[in-house]
Amino acid sequence: MINYIWVFMIVSGIIAAVLQGKIDLVTSAALTGAKDAVAVCIGLISILVFWLGMMKIAEDSGLLKKLTKILRPIAKLLFPSVPENHPAMGYILSNMSANLFGLGNAATPMGIKAMEELQKLNPEPHKATPAMCTLLALNTSGLTLIPATMIGIRMKYDSANPTEIIGPTLLATIVATGGAVLLDRYYRHRHFRGLNTYKK
d(CA 156, CA 154): 5
Closest CA to 153 of 82, 196, 102, 190: 102
**pLDDT exceeding 90 applies to what percent of the chain?**
5
Least confident of 37-41, 124-128, 172-176: 37-41
Asked if the model's pLDDT at residue 113 lies above 80, the reply is yes
Closest CA to 70 of 101, 40, 37, 97: 97
* pLDDT tier for residue 104 given thresholds of 50, 70 and 90: low
| Contacts of 102 by beta carbon, 8 Å cutoff, 6+ apart | 51, 144, 145, 146, 147, 148, 149, 150, 151, 169
Nearest to 79 by CA among 143, 125, 138, 155: 138
Q: Is the pLDDT of residue 42 over 60?
A: yes
Reference 144, options 163, 121, 167, 116; nearest CA is 167
- Vertex 104: Cα angle to 102 and 107 (nearest 5): 105
For the cut 80, the answer to whether the pLDDT of residue 14 exceeds it is: yes
**What distances in angstroms separate CA 68 from CA 38, 58, 142, one per listed residue?**
35, 11, 17
pLDDT tens for 88-97 read 888 888 888 7
Q: What is the pLDDT of residue 175?
A: 93
Put residue 82 in one of left, alpha, beta given phi > 0 → left and psi -120 to 50 → alpha: beta
Compute how many other C-beta atoms are within 10 angstroms of the C-beta atom of residue 164. Answer: 12
Q: Read off the pLDDT of each residue in 9-23 and give the average, rounded to a whole number.
A: 85
Give the per-residue pLDDT at 76: 86
Q: How high is the mean pLDDT of the chain? A: 80
Arithmetic mean of pLDDT, 17-44 = 79
pLDDT band at residue 43 using 50, 70 and 90 as cut-offs? low
Identity at 125, one-letter amino acid code: P
- pTM of the full predicted structure? 0.65
Average pLDDT over residues 165-178: 90
pLDDT confidence of 197, banded at 50, 70, 90? low
Answer whether 176's CB lies under 8 Å from 141's CB: yes
